[in-house]
Amino acid sequence: ASILVVDKWAHPDAAVDVIITVRSTETVMQSNTPARDAIFKVYVEHARSGGRIFVGICTVGECAQDAKAIVLQWLPAEIDGSFYVVGVPDAMRLYEIMTKWIQAAIRRNSPRMRDGSRIDRVLDLTPGPYDIPGKELL
């Protein structure tokens, strides 16, 4: 109940604790991809926050490691402990990595999220358009 999840696009004035962006390897590896600008904006927001915002960038698919290398080339400087770039082969590994990121952000960051931080409340969505790999539907 203490975890508030809002989409920053829908609520531009909301405080940001965690930014997670997921990109397909195909999108990242396209020339002149719009993913580059989006990821750079995330990097700038992280830098402006002084590292307070937890950032996770994940490439997903067969060539995830190659796409990860491309993303790292786009970043203008070394990344620190609250900025992660990883590549995973499939949706199951994506689910696992996002769970770890959100748990880490709850532990390290927001006092609003610490009390009763039940990650399952965030990620165990009701049946419908969402399909969570490896999870039983409610």
- Is 59 strand, coil or helix? strand
Mean pLDDT of 68-96: 88
pLDDT in tens, 100-131: 887 777 776 555 555 444 454 455 444 444 45
pLDDT of 116 reads 45
Kindly indicate the confidence band of residue 67, based on its pLDDT and cuts at 50, 70 and 90: very high
Where exactly are the structural domains of the chain?
Answer: 18-112
Of the candidates 75, 63, 78, the one whose C-alpha atom is nearest the C-alpha of residue 29 is 63
pLDDT in tens, 12-62: 887 777 777 777 888 889 989 988 998 898 888 888 888 888 888 888 888
User: What pTM, to 2 d.p., does this model score?
Assistant: 0.69
